[in-house]
Protein backbone atom coordinates (compact mmCIF):
# COMPACT_ATOMS: atom_id res chain seq x y z
CA UNK A 1 0.00 0.00 0.00
CA UNK A 2 1.18 3.54 -0.73
CA UNK A 3 0.82 5.80 2.31
CA UNK A 4 0.50 9.60 2.18
CA UNK A 5 3.21 11.34 4.21
CA UNK A 6 1.06 13.67 6.32
CA UNK A 7 -0.19 12.39 9.65
CA UNK A 8 -3.40 12.41 11.65
CA UNK A 9 -3.02 13.91 15.12
CA UNK A 10 -5.37 14.58 18.03
CA UNK A 11 -6.16 18.07 16.70
CA UNK A 12 -7.17 16.91 13.20
CA UNK A 13 -10.71 17.94 12.26
CA UNK A 14 -12.47 14.63 11.65
CA UNK A 15 -16.05 14.25 10.41
CA UNK A 16 -17.83 10.95 10.93
CA UNK A 17 -20.16 10.60 7.94
CA UNK A 18 -23.33 8.69 8.73
CA UNK A 19 -27.06 8.46 8.04
CA UNK A 20 -27.30 9.30 4.39
CA UNK A 21 -30.06 8.63 1.91
CA UNK A 22 -29.99 4.87 1.45
CA UNK A 23 -32.26 2.15 2.77
CA UNK A 24 -29.55 1.42 5.36
CA UNK A 25 -29.77 4.90 6.92
CA UNK A 26 -30.76 3.75 10.43
CA UNK A 27 -27.94 1.23 10.63
CA UNK A 28 -25.47 3.88 9.47
CA UNK A 29 -26.62 6.31 12.16
CA UNK A 30 -25.90 3.67 14.78
CA UNK A 31 -22.47 2.98 13.30
CA UNK A 32 -21.66 6.69 13.17
CA UNK A 33 -22.57 7.43 16.77
CA UNK A 34 -20.45 4.53 18.01
CA UNK A 35 -17.45 5.62 15.94
CA UNK A 36 -17.73 9.23 17.11
CA UNK A 37 -17.74 8.12 20.75
CA UNK A 38 -14.66 5.98 20.10
CA UNK A 39 -12.78 8.86 18.43
CA UNK A 40 -13.55 11.14 21.38
CA UNK A 41 -12.44 8.40 23.78
CA UNK A 42 -9.18 8.17 21.82
CA UNK A 43 -8.57 11.89 22.24
CA UNK A 44 -9.51 13.10 18.75
CA UNK A 45 -11.22 16.10 20.31
CA UNK A 46 -12.16 17.83 17.05
CA UNK A 47 -14.33 14.97 15.83
CA UNK A 48 -17.90 15.73 14.78
CA UNK A 49 -20.88 13.82 13.37
CA UNK A 50 -22.36 14.75 9.99
CA UNK A 51 -25.68 13.28 8.90
CA UNK A 52 -25.16 13.20 5.15
CA UNK A 53 -27.71 14.86 2.87
CA UNK A 54 -27.59 16.79 -0.42
CA UNK A 55 -25.85 19.68 1.35
CA UNK A 56 -22.95 17.58 2.63
CA UNK A 57 -20.31 19.45 0.60
CA UNK A 58 -21.36 22.75 2.16
CA UNK A 59 -21.26 21.23 5.67
CA UNK A 60 -17.78 19.82 5.10
CA UNK A 61 -16.52 23.18 3.87
CA UNK A 62 -18.09 25.14 6.74
CA UNK A 63 -16.56 22.79 9.30
CA UNK A 64 -13.09 22.84 7.66
CA UNK A 65 -13.02 19.04 7.72
CA UNK A 66 -9.62 17.43 7.06
CA UNK A 67 -10.50 13.72 7.37
CA UNK A 68 -13.79 11.89 6.81
CA UNK A 69 -14.46 8.67 8.67
CA UNK A 70 -17.02 7.03 6.42
CA UNK A 71 -19.72 5.01 8.21
CA UNK A 72 -22.28 5.37 5.44
CA UNK A 73 -23.86 2.15 4.21
CA UNK A 74 -25.51 1.47 0.86
CA UNK A 75 -26.11 3.90 -1.97
CA UNK A 76 -24.30 7.23 -2.14
CA UNK A 77 -21.97 6.21 0.68
CA UNK A 78 -20.65 2.79 -0.25
CA UNK A 79 -20.87 2.94 -4.04
CA UNK A 80 -18.21 5.53 -4.88
CA UNK A 81 -20.44 8.63 -4.82
CA UNK A 82 -19.27 10.17 -1.55
CA UNK A 83 -15.73 9.03 -2.28
CA UNK A 84 -15.74 10.96 -5.57
CA UNK A 85 -17.07 14.08 -3.88
CA UNK A 86 -14.38 13.91 -1.21
CA UNK A 87 -11.66 13.52 -3.82
CA UNK A 88 -12.96 16.58 -5.67
CA UNK A 89 -12.87 18.51 -2.39
CA UNK A 90 -9.40 17.25 -1.50
CA UNK A 91 -10.54 15.61 1.74
CA UNK A 92 -8.94 12.33 2.79
CA UNK A 93 -11.28 9.53 3.80
CA UNK A 94 -11.25 6.07 5.32
CA UNK A 95 -11.72 2.83 3.44
CA UNK A 96 -12.02 2.05 -0.24
CA UNK A 97 -11.67 4.40 -3.21
CA UNK A 98 -14.18 5.30 -5.91
CA UNK A 99 -13.44 2.39 -8.22
CA UNK A 100 -13.39 -0.43 -5.66
CA UNK A 101 -16.45 0.97 -3.87
CA UNK A 102 -18.44 1.07 -7.12
CA UNK A 103 -17.31 -2.38 -8.23
CA UNK A 104 -18.06 -4.03 -4.89
CA UNK A 105 -21.47 -2.36 -4.65
CA UNK A 106 -22.52 -4.08 -7.88
CA UNK A 107 -22.85 -7.78 -7.13
CA UNK A 108 -22.60 -8.73 -10.82
CA UNK A 109 -19.34 -6.79 -11.29
CA UNK A 110 -17.94 -8.25 -8.07
CA UNK A 111 -18.70 -11.81 -9.16
CA UNK A 112 -17.21 -11.28 -12.62
CA UNK A 113 -13.95 -9.95 -11.15
CA UNK A 114 -13.77 -12.71 -8.55
CA UNK A 115 -14.36 -15.38 -11.18
CA UNK A 116 -11.70 -13.85 -13.44
CA UNK A 117 -9.24 -14.12 -10.53
CA UNK A 118 -9.97 -17.80 -10.00
CA UNK A 119 -12.09 -17.38 -6.88
CA UNK A 120 -15.08 -19.63 -6.27
CA UNK A 121 -18.55 -18.08 -6.74
CA UNK A 122 -22.09 -19.46 -7.03
CA UNK A 123 -23.67 -19.93 -10.45
CA UNK A 124 -25.83 -16.89 -11.23
CA UNK A 125 -27.28 -14.60 -13.88
CA UNK A 126 -27.81 -10.84 -13.88
CA UNK A 127 -31.14 -9.52 -15.20
CA UNK A 128 -32.09 -5.97 -16.13
CA UNK A 129 -35.62 -4.72 -15.52
CA UNK A 130 -37.72 -5.53 -18.60
CA UNK A 131 -35.70 -8.56 -19.63
CA UNK A 132 -37.28 -12.03 -19.78
CA UNK A 133 -36.11 -13.35 -16.42
CA UNK A 134 -37.90 -16.69 -16.89
CA UNK A 135 -35.80 -17.32 -20.00
CA UNK A 136 -32.57 -15.99 -18.48
CA UNK A 137 -32.88 -18.20 -15.37
CA UNK A 138 -33.72 -21.32 -17.36
CA UNK A 139 -30.28 -22.91 -16.79
CA UNK A 140 -30.38 -22.28 -13.03
CA UNK A 141 -31.80 -24.87 -10.65
CA UNK A 142 -34.41 -24.04 -8.01
CA UNK A 143 -34.38 -22.92 -5.27
CA UNK A 144 -32.95 -19.53 -6.20
CA UNK A 145 -31.85 -16.45 -4.30
CA UNK A 146 -33.01 -13.15 -5.80
CA UNK A 147 -30.98 -10.05 -4.90
CA UNK A 148 -31.02 -6.41 -6.02
CA UNK A 149 -27.60 -6.01 -7.65
CA UNK A 150 -26.65 -2.80 -5.83
CA UNK A 151 -28.26 -3.05 -2.42
CA UNK A 152 -26.88 -4.08 0.96
CA UNK A 153 -27.99 -5.68 4.24
CA UNK A 154 -30.12 -8.24 2.34
CA UNK A 155 -32.66 -5.51 1.50
CA UNK A 156 -35.05 -6.64 -1.25
CA UNK A 157 -33.60 -10.15 -1.16
CA UNK A 158 -35.79 -13.26 -1.26
CA UNK A 159 -35.68 -16.99 -1.86
CA UNK A 160 -37.73 -18.54 -4.67
CA UNK A 161 -38.59 -22.24 -4.64
CA UNK A 162 -40.52 -22.21 -7.92
CA UNK A 163 -41.48 -20.01 -10.87
CA UNK A 164 -44.41 -18.41 -9.09
CA UNK A 165 -42.22 -17.39 -6.15
CA UNK A 166 -39.55 -16.20 -8.58
CA UNK A 167 -42.04 -13.80 -10.19
CA UNK A 168 -42.93 -12.36 -6.78
CA UNK A 169 -39.29 -12.13 -5.69
CA UNK A 170 -38.27 -10.32 -8.88
CA UNK A 171 -41.03 -7.74 -8.39
CA UNK A 172 -39.80 -7.07 -4.86
CA UNK A 173 -36.16 -6.84 -5.94
CA UNK A 174 -36.94 -4.42 -8.77
CA UNK A 175 -38.35 -1.97 -6.21
CA UNK A 176 -34.77 -1.57 -4.95
CA UNK A 177 -32.82 -1.77 -8.21
CA UNK A 178 -33.30 -2.05 -11.96
CA UNK A 179 -30.73 -4.85 -12.07
CA UNK A 180 -31.19 -8.10 -10.16
CA UNK A 181 -28.81 -10.97 -9.48
CA UNK A 182 -30.37 -14.44 -9.39
CA UNK A 183 -28.20 -17.23 -8.07
CA UNK A 184 -28.68 -20.86 -7.17
CA UNK A 185 -29.48 -21.40 -3.50
CA UNK A 186 -26.82 -23.30 -1.61
CA UNK A 187 -27.67 -24.64 1.81
CA UNK A 188 -24.31 -23.73 3.26
CA UNK A 189 -22.85 -22.30 6.43
CA UNK A 190 -22.89 -18.48 6.41
CA UNK A 191 -19.67 -16.83 7.48
CA UNK A 192 -17.68 -13.67 6.98
CA UNK A 193 -14.08 -12.49 7.20
CA UNK A 194 -12.87 -8.96 7.84
CA UNK A 195 -9.83 -7.69 5.96
CA UNK A 196 -7.87 -4.80 7.46
CA UNK A 197 -4.79 -2.87 6.40
CA UNK A 198 -2.31 -1.91 9.10
CA UNK A 199 -1.00 1.42 7.79
CA UNK A 200 1.91 1.69 10.23
CA UNK A 201 3.27 -1.78 9.40
CA UNK A 202 2.06 -1.81 5.77
CA UNK A 203 0.41 -5.18 6.29
CA UNK A 204 -2.91 -6.62 5.10
CA UNK A 205 -4.46 -9.21 7.42
CA UNK A 206 -7.65 -11.20 7.83
CA UNK A 207 -9.70 -11.40 11.02
CA UNK A 208 -10.96 -14.65 12.52
CA UNK A 209 -13.88 -16.13 10.60
CA UNK A 210 -17.28 -15.34 12.05
CA UNK A 211 -20.02 -17.91 11.57
CA UNK A 212 -23.76 -17.25 11.79
CA UNK A 213 -26.41 -19.50 13.23
CA UNK A 214 -29.76 -17.80 12.61
CA UNK A 215 -33.31 -18.41 13.75
CA UNK A 216 -34.45 -17.30 10.29
CA UNK A 217 -34.17 -19.49 7.18
CA UNK A 218 -31.22 -17.48 5.92
CA UNK A 219 -29.18 -14.49 7.06
CA UNK A 220 -31.67 -11.76 6.11
CA UNK A 221 -32.08 -8.12 7.23
CA UNK A 222 -34.16 -9.09 10.25
CA UNK A 223 -31.55 -11.60 11.40
CA UNK A 224 -28.74 -9.10 10.91
CA UNK A 225 -30.18 -6.28 12.96
CA UNK A 226 -32.54 -7.86 15.50
CA UNK A 227 -30.90 -8.88 18.74
CA UNK A 228 -31.40 -12.53 19.58
CA UNK A 229 -32.11 -13.79 16.05
CA UNK A 230 -28.51 -14.59 15.16
CA UNK A 231 -25.85 -16.37 17.16
CA UNK A 232 -22.28 -15.36 16.36
CA UNK A 233 -19.86 -18.28 16.34
CA UNK A 234 -16.28 -17.09 16.81
CA UNK A 235 -14.27 -18.65 15.46
CA UNK A 236 -16.43 -20.41 12.89
CA UNK A 237 -16.37 -24.22 13.28
CA UNK A 238 -13.91 -24.96 10.48
CA UNK A 239 -10.74 -27.00 10.68
CA UNK A 240 -7.37 -25.26 10.48
CA UNK A 241 -6.86 -25.98 6.78
CA UNK A 242 -10.29 -24.67 5.72
CA UNK A 243 -9.95 -21.65 8.01
CA UNK A 244 -6.65 -20.68 6.40
CA UNK A 245 -8.09 -21.24 2.93
CA UNK A 246 -11.07 -18.94 3.58
CA UNK A 247 -8.91 -16.22 5.12
CA UNK A 248 -6.51 -16.34 2.16
CA UNK A 249 -9.47 -16.17 -0.24
CA UNK A 250 -10.74 -13.09 1.60
CA UNK A 251 -7.41 -11.28 1.25
CA UNK A 252 -7.15 -12.30 -2.40
CA UNK A 253 -10.69 -11.02 -3.05
CA UNK A 254 -9.89 -7.74 -1.26
CA UNK A 255 -6.89 -7.25 -3.53
CA UNK A 256 -8.64 -8.45 -6.70
CA UNK A 257 -11.29 -5.75 -6.27
CA UNK A 258 -8.52 -3.24 -5.45
CA UNK A 259 -9.98 -2.51 -2.03
CA UNK A 260 -8.05 -0.25 0.33
CA UNK A 261 -8.13 0.01 4.09
CA UNK A 262 -10.97 -2.25 5.11
CA UNK A 263 -13.48 -4.71 3.69
CA UNK A 264 -15.55 -7.67 4.81
CA UNK A 265 -15.90 -10.72 2.59
CA UNK A 266 -19.03 -12.88 2.95
CA UNK A 267 -18.96 -16.62 2.31
CA UNK A 268 -21.21 -19.65 2.09
CA UNK A 269 -19.44 -22.90 2.89
CA UNK A 270 -20.96 -26.10 1.53
CA UNK A 271 -19.26 -29.51 2.00
CA UNK A 272 -16.03 -27.68 2.92
CA UNK A 273 -16.15 -25.71 -0.33
CA UNK A 274 -16.20 -21.94 0.27
CA UNK A 275 -18.11 -19.68 -2.12
CA UNK A 276 -17.66 -15.90 -2.01
CA UNK A 277 -21.01 -14.07 -1.98
CA UNK A 278 -19.96 -10.42 -1.93
CA UNK A 279 -17.53 -7.86 -0.55
CA UNK A 280 -18.62 -5.06 1.77
CA UNK A 281 -16.37 -1.99 1.53
CA UNK A 282 -17.86 -0.23 4.56
CA UNK A 283 -18.59 -2.88 7.19
CA UNK A 284 -21.06 -1.96 9.92
CA UNK A 285 -19.79 -0.63 13.23
CA UNK A 286 -22.91 -1.07 15.38
CA UNK A 287 -23.12 -3.02 18.62
CA UNK A 288 -24.34 -6.03 16.62
CA UNK A 289 -21.96 -5.71 13.66
CA UNK A 290 -19.60 -8.41 12.48
CA UNK A 291 -16.28 -6.59 12.14
CA UNK A 292 -16.08 -5.31 15.75
CA UNK A 293 -16.86 -8.81 17.02
CA UNK A 294 -14.16 -10.34 14.79
CA UNK A 295 -11.60 -7.72 15.84
CA UNK A 296 -12.42 -8.22 19.51
CA UNK A 297 -11.76 -11.95 19.18
CA UNK A 298 -8.18 -11.22 18.08
CA UNK A 299 -7.57 -8.72 20.88
CA UNK A 300 -8.53 -5.51 19.05
CA UNK A 301 -11.15 -3.65 21.06
CA UNK A 302 -13.68 -1.29 19.48
CA UNK A 303 -11.65 1.90 20.00
CA UNK A 304 -8.49 0.25 18.65
CA UNK A 305 -10.42 -0.93 15.57
CA UNK A 306 -11.73 2.59 14.95
CA UNK A 307 -8.18 3.94 15.08
CA UNK A 308 -6.91 1.27 12.66
CA UNK A 309 -9.65 2.21 10.18
CA UNK A 310 -9.08 5.94 10.76
CA UNK A 311 -5.45 5.62 9.67
CA UNK A 312 -6.54 4.04 6.36
CA UNK A 313 -7.40 7.60 5.30
CA UNK A 314 -3.63 7.99 4.82
CA UNK A 315 -3.49 5.28 2.15
CA UNK A 316 -3.01 6.74 -1.33
CA UNK A 317 -6.32 6.27 -3.15
Active site residue 19: no
- Residues in contact with 144: Cβ distance below 8 Å, sequence separation at least 6, in sequence order: 137, 159, 160, 166, 169, 182, 183, 184, 185
Distance CA 191, CA 103 (A): 21
Candidates 126, 153, 190, 191; catalytic one: 153
Candidates 76, 189, 225, 275; catalytic one: 225
Candidates 70, 264, 289, 290; catalytic one: 264
Active site residue 275: no
Active site residue 165: no
Query: What is the rounded radius of gyration, in angstroms, for the C-alpha atoms of the chain?
Result: 19
Candidates 278, 282, 289, 302; catalytic one: 278
Active site residue 79: no
Distance CA 54, CA 135 (A): 40
Handedness of CA 167, 168, 170, 174 (dihedral sign): positive
Candidates 266, 275, 282, 302; catalytic one: 266
Number of residues assigned to the chain: 317
Candidates 19, 22, 24, 194; catalytic one: 24
For 189, the 3-state DSSP assignment is strand
Backbone angles phi, psi at 312, to 5 degrees: -70, -10
Candidates 47, 284, 289, 302; catalytic one: 284
Active site residue 75: no
Backbone angles phi, psi at 2, to 5 degrees: -95, 125
**β-pair type (189-198, 203-206):** antiparallel
Candidates 47, 280, 282, 289; catalytic one: 280
Cα-to-chain-centroid distance, residue 158: 19
Active site residue 153: yes
CB 257 within 8 A of CB 279: yes
Active site residue 266: yes
Active site residue 225: yes
CB 16 within 8 A of CB 35: yes
Distance CA 13, CA 53 (A): 20
State the virtual CA torsion across 203, 209, 215, 220 in degrees, nearest 10. Answer: 40
Catalytic residues: 24, 153, 225, 264, 266, 278, 280, 284
Amino acid sequence: MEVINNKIDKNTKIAVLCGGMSAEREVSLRSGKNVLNALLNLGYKNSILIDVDKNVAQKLKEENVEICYNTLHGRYGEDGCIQGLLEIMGIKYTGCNVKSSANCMDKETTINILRANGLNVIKSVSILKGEDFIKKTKELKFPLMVKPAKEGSSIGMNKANNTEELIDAMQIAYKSDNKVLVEEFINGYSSTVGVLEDVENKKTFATPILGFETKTEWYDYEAKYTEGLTKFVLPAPFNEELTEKIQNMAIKAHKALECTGVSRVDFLVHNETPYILEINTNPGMTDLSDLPAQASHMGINYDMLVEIVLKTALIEK
